Chains A and B, each alone.
Chain A
Amino acid sequence: MTPMLVTERVLAVLPDYVNGVDVSPDGRHTVAGSVSGHVCIADVDGDVRMFEAHDGDVVRAKWSHSGRFVATCGIDGALRIWDLAGSLVAEAQHRGWATDLAWRTGGDEVAAGIGRRVVRLLANGMKSVQHEEFPASVECVTWSEDGRRLFAGHYGGVAVFQGSAKPVKTFPWKGAPLVVAASSDGKWVVTGNQDASLHVWKVANGSELQMTGFSTKVLQIAWSRNSLRLANAAMNEISEWDFSGKGPKGSKPIGMVGHSGRIVGLEYSPMDHSILGSAATDGSVCLWHPVKSGRSMLLSHQTHRSLSTMTWSPTSLRMACGTASGEVVSLTFGEDAEEQP
């Protein structure tokens, strides 16, 4: 493997810790939210629009699949949809803190966990479905890739919604999920948990698997595009599980250690599905090609910034990262690096 070039560029600077970052489907715009309540939208030409989006921390900021809108949610209990100019398009409010949000594929609809409820909002301002409150706060939400199912994790398990206000299924489990992700083939849903475990359900029949023994709670999980591999991070360690064939039952994961700080971002590159990217609080960014024998690491790069979040651009081998001091940083790898201005 020839060494890859890395080009680092600061796209914008927010007033404080960056909680969420996302790149638009065309790869041209980056959105980021801060605990200061500010959101910025930066484009590749260097233009930045910054605006106050929430009273208190912005928890998530994400592009709609159409690329027309940005959704943000905050600890003020608000879910808001903005256009590219930063004008408010729609909003919804519920009692409690927002914890997570996810756009549905096919349709400008967003779902967020706010307090004990999943709140759904359309870009035209309509609330699509009114869900009832759970007995505990919603910690995480995600859609199936076809947009038919919505999964909501809360203390006590995962609820599956499909069209109606009541869950079509619930996967009860006495634990506290923190993050949830569904495989793109729709077969599996997995949560990373407070008790340092992963919990996996087969969506069709609810059969479950549990992976335990991580050093800390699991805040990062990522599915490969082909649904055959699942990666997770706990503290500075990454594990990748093989979901081909009968699944990972009884198998050992591929372990990857390259960071010395807590991993704050973990995703497979949409451009090259064999590449797993990770970022950590010690400023390190790693690219991996997970293999059972030998070295999985392709590259390790030190940004000398305390990273707080990371995501890939959908159109190039480029990462967008947030930092604890408010910077939004773009990292371009390999041949793409030379194309940068």
Chain B
Amino acid sequence: MDFLTFVQLADATVRMSIPLLLACLAGLFSERAGIFDIGLEGKMLAAAFFAAAVSFSTGSVWIGLLAGLAASLALSVIHGLASITLRGNQLISGVAINFLAAGLTVVVAQSWFKQGGRTPQLSGASRFDGLDWPGALTRVREIMTAPPPQQFYSEFISGHSILVYFAFLCVPASWWLLYRTRFGLRLRAVGENPAAVDTAGISVVGLRFTAVLICGLLCGIAGAYLSTAAQAGFTKDMTANRGFIALAALIFAKWRPWHAMGACLLFGLFFAIDNRFQNIQLHAIWIIVILVGLSALMTSYALRRDRIDVIVLGGFSALLTLIAIGMWIGLTVPGEVSMVQALWQVVKLPTQLIQSMPYILTVVALAGFVGKAIPPRAGGEPYVKER
């Protein structure tokens, strides 16, 4: 691995994590205000379609972005009406939005463009091009021959679309808004104890609607990024479950903005690794060390907890150790490869393992290994003023 590979990996990480980051921040606002939102996926999808469709029709990507935002906001209002005003179940409303978006985008696209649920390819001004910073090289093949500082500058700093820079600006902005303003304090309070907020004479419904609308806005940008910056056009189901991965990142980040960025970058890194190296090859000894190390960590953690933890995690550790030993023995061929030589055999790690890392990490987070992930206390419950 040379320097350029690292830079490119970092660059791909940024590209892969942007839609996650925007959707994750969207979910953060909504859930911090006590409205669970599993409709992130649907909002992104609707925004992706309308952004692509309108920017194709008008020739301006900015009008397209506005259309995407409008579509996402419209779905947010539906979610708000169902779960805040009508006090419905927030999860069901979210699922409904996902279904609605998945079906409607394809139907509208088919009747609009007659291309089987996709929009025509975008080009020129109807697409967010990468911003090329002064002096930066634009093509991968030119960058490959440049000196390292130029590689870093051209590949990592320059060449992203404006939405990427905006997404990273959103992180400190969200932090400031949530933790340094009166509005943020109230928003967090309404997710923890809406009755207290209500007693203070502040509108719970108003705050929650604001949060849901901010969520729609950010989802809209995420969707528009997918169809007009990352890709040149909308295709059926193009969000490919990124909304759900963003929710996983949100849980992993324990509903905090800076941590959300970390989680999204980490998940993005896994996707980038998966794209770059289809099969990862490692010496058997490293895999054994990782597996045994993991089981040792789990056992030591479990010993400080209840007996049930010892049984469950102990069993799991034993399983991992068994896999490690089994692999070691499996690699040993009597007469040809000795036990010691087997340690240096190259083993292919399947790409699926890397693909599933975000989900494994979320389960780890939920299981409480990295401190407890406590959702906002009033999350998922509609606020009823009087009982």
- Physical interaction between A and B: no
Which B residues are closer than 8 A to A by beta carbons?
Answer: none
